[in-house]
Structure 1
């Protein structure tokens, strides 16, 4: 059993990554149903939360069936991050996570996210401010370093553990790499092997199949893995990995009907939570992923991203079911 403070997880938990514009409650719901053990909100700007910005406040929404769930925060000001942690704590998550890994310009160039990898003393100070501001377990997600010349994750892991974080997730790339090239898990393994490290270490980066999850589990000894992009449109990956670990065999691939049902549940929740207009518009980014690989699906996708009502989307999904019934044994 893996423990994060009082939170008890399975022997090898599978975490859903906090992905901006993806990891909202509707998406989390389908991932939880399909085996995600621990999930996080989209990252929330500390500045936005302090200003009571509507988008940031809405991201605090969590639901009982999601537990355990963490709220992820990012920011560049130590005091503001401490205040933000207090606000997030009142939303009653199971833990608070700090984002020191986001590489995108609008975050890193403002001194937040992965930018803190260039200023370890400030990272330590900020982390302590968050730890001191909440009674909840605090965890961190970060990268190997800023670039190839500053892969300082071994130092970061020790120093953050020393001031009280309860778990660490490491993405196997530097900030300079963004999401390009292959993730390098070698340093993640070295952090896990460090006898000074006693907190759970989770690996992140390029886990896109059951085989890879098992290979990296055995090779690098991590306590669990965090899955991001591979879960978009394919929430079944969590239970597929669990089944493969338990049996050494693959689960049957999701049928077209499975895809339609997951997409419909995602859509229904999106409309309920965001309202009919925003819910429909924001679902448009997901259709290509849910139906990736289906022969001649493009005409259906084109229609799905053009219609404006819930009923119209459901009608097209019904057509998809009928069109692929014989071809894919729905």
Structure 2
């Protein structure tokens, strides 16, 4: 069993990463159904929460069936982070997570996300501001450092643990790498094997198959794995990894019928959460991922993208099932 404060997770838990414009309630519901043990909201701007920005507030929506669920915040100002932590606490998530890893320029330029990796003292102050403002467990997600010349994750891990955080997730890339190149999990192993580190250490980066998950678990000794891009359009990855770790056998890949059902469920929950038109517009980014590997889907793709009512989508799903059933996924 892995514990984050008073939250009990199974041995070697699988976490769904917080991903902007992806990790919303409909997507999280699908991942939970397929085996995710702990999930996080999309990252939320501390300044946006304080301004009462509608988009930021909407990201606070959480539901009991998602638990345990964490809400992730980011920012570069201590007072704003403290205030946003108190706002987050009002919706009663199970934990608060701090984003010190987002490499996107518009976030970094504000001195937030991975931008804080250049100033560990500021990172510590921001973390202390959050920890002291909430009774909830506080966790952090970060990267190895700004670039290969300034990998500082060893110092970061020890100093953040001293602030009182209850777990640390490390994306095994630097900010300069963005999402390119190969994630270097050796750094995660070194942190985990540091005798001074007592909190759970979760690894993140390049978890795109059951074999890789097994290798990361065996080789790098982390307490669990966070999955991001590997789950987009493929929520089955959680149960597939669990089954492989338990039995050494691979589950059959989802059938076309499985994929069409996932699209239908995702779309219905998206419509329920956002309304019909905006919910289906939101779905447009997901279709390619759900039908990845189905060569003849391209002929139907434009029509899926044009569907703006559930009835239209239902008709397309039926048509896709009829046309593509004979094709291998």
Give me the TM-score of the superposition, normalised by structure 2.
0.99
- Matched residue SS, 1:202: strand
Moved more, 14-23 or 312-321: 312-321
Deviation at 1:89, TM superposition (A): 0.6
2 CA distance for matches of 1:95 and 1:194? 25
What 5-or-longer segments of structure 1 have no aligned partner?
none
Deviation at 1:321, TM superposition (A): 1.1
Provide the residue aligned with 1:189 in structure 2.
189
- Matched residue SS, 2:127: helix
- Matched residue SS, 2:49: helix
Q: 1:45-124 maps to which residues of 2 (within 5 A)?
A: 45-124=45-124
Deviations 1:271-300 (A, max 9, x none): 010011110111011001001111211011
Give the alignment's Cα RMSD to 1 decimal.
0.8
Hey, which bits of structure 1, 4+ residues long, moved more than 6 A? Answer: none
2 CA distance for matches of 1:37 and 1:101? 21
Does structure 1 residue 252 correspond to structure 2 residue 252?
yes
1 CA distance for matches of 2:291 and 2:267? 14
Deviations 1:66-111 (A, max 9, x none): 0000000001111100000000011100000000000000000110
Provide the residue aligned with 1:159 in structure 2.
159
1 CA distance for matches of 2:327 and 2:226? 34
Give me the TM-score of the superposition, normalised by structure 1.
0.99
- Matched residue SS, 2:169: strand
Does structure 1 residue 212 correspond to structure 2 residue 212?
yes
Provide the residue aligned with 2:308 in structure 1.
308
Moved more, 289-298 or 95-104: 289-298
Q: 1:234-273 maps to which residues of 2 (within 5 A)?
A: 234-273=234-273
What 5-or-longer segments of structure 2 have no aligned partner?
none
- Matched residue SS, 1:296: helix
Provide the residue aligned with 2:12 in structure 1.
12
Aligned length: 329
